[in-house]
Chain A
Amino acid sequence: MLSNSTLLIFCGICMNIFFSANNLQAAEVLRTDPPRFGNIDLHPGGDVIRIDARNGVAGAQSIHPTNRSIITGSRSGLLRIISDTNAEEHVDIVFQNSILLTGPGSTINMRDIDTYSQYSSGGVDIPAGGYADISIGGEIVLTGEESNGQYSGNLAITLHFQ
């Protein structure tokens, strides 16, 4: 019959392996930068302004052929995920597809976030001991009636590490 002390020793070994194994899933988010549409001198007839980050870092642009609004200080958002293990780790990314930005007297809809962000379909592999940058975009529709001022809102993102 196995002694009690020996049984405890094996349980202890198992638990140590358990904690070590859990530490192998060590990919983590090192940096988060939200997407910024910057300062918009809005065309009085309205505009649609897009950050197309499907291929990486991007700024905001009017989709109108003549770029009718003047935009400064914009940039796509960024998630940097690092891994300090010796194994590649896969991450699926789920973006909240639309959010409301509230400001002086009105709201602005930011939409198609997953459409204009990187790796929203299929996820990304974090190389062993390396990192991956995920750029975040989206689009806002402006009527031209918006009051001057700052608009803001919260964007939720879920990472599925596998």
Chain B
Amino acid sequence: MAFKQDNPFQGGKMKLNGRNFHSRYLAGTLAAGIICCFAVTALARDQDLTLNVDLDITSTADATAFRNLDFGVIDLDPAGDDFEIDSSAGDAVSTKTSAGTSILSSTGNAGIIRVVGNTAFNITVTYPTSVTLSGLGSPVNVISIASLSQAPDSGAGLNHTAGGTTDIHVGGEIQLSGDEDGTYSGTMAVTVHFN
């Protein structure tokens, strides 16, 4: 390797392995390369990710019609009589509320809505104003359902304990004229509210 005496940074010439090259160009190219490299290292970058989010809902709160409302078997006074099942405080059976001579040979029972669930909540029920029962004779109306049943939506409702079973008792009143005969039946639709 042979070099001439000139200072390479003052624009002199250099000879390397028998070849001449100009130091001004060398310095300029080297500087450009360094600037280029430092500029490259300063660049930012982005990365996009996608994550799958999931969950499972398994609500255990449920209400079922557990037992039907049954006014029993009535040996009816031909002049008629009134009967009610007052289950506003809990389970109850049919009782005669008028002065006639009808006989209840079977006292029947209140209806039951059974509620279950692992969480704790309050329950109220929207009852119909009346329900019509159809049979061989004149139709029979069941009335005063909300006032003779538990947890009507006009009140405070019943509190369900987490993991437990809550029975809501359903009653009502029938007013018989004396013309009725045979087996009567009908359907009552209620709405259970979980609060």
Footprint of B on A, CB under 8 Å?
1-3, 6-7, 10-11, 13-14, 17-18, 21-22, 24-25, 29, 32-45, 66, 68-70, 77, 79, 99, 101, 103, 108, 110, 136, 138, 140, 142, 144, 146-162
Contact = CB atoms under 8 A, between A and B. Distances in A.
Interface of B: 19, 21-22, 25-26, 29-30, 33-34, 36-37, 40-41, 43-61, 117-121, 162, 194-195
A54 B11 CA distance: 62
Contacts of A6: 21, 26
A13 B25 CA distance: 16
B58 A29 contact: no
B57 A2 contact: no
Contacts of A101: 53-55
A143 to B, nearest CB: 11
Given A10-B33, A24-B41, A161 B55 contact: no
A38 B56 contact: yes
Given A77-B53, A144-B59, 8 more contacts: A1-B22, A10-B29, A10-B30, A35-B53, A146-B57, A148-B58, A154-B51, A161-B47
A33 B51 CA distance: 7
11 contacts: A10-B33, A38-B55, A39-B55, A42-B58, A70-B118, A79-B49, A136-B51, A144-B59, A148-B59, A151-B57, A154-B53
Q: Which 7 A-B pairs have the closest CB atoms?
A: A44-B194, A37-B55, A14-B33, A21-B41, A34-B51, A44-B61, A2-B25
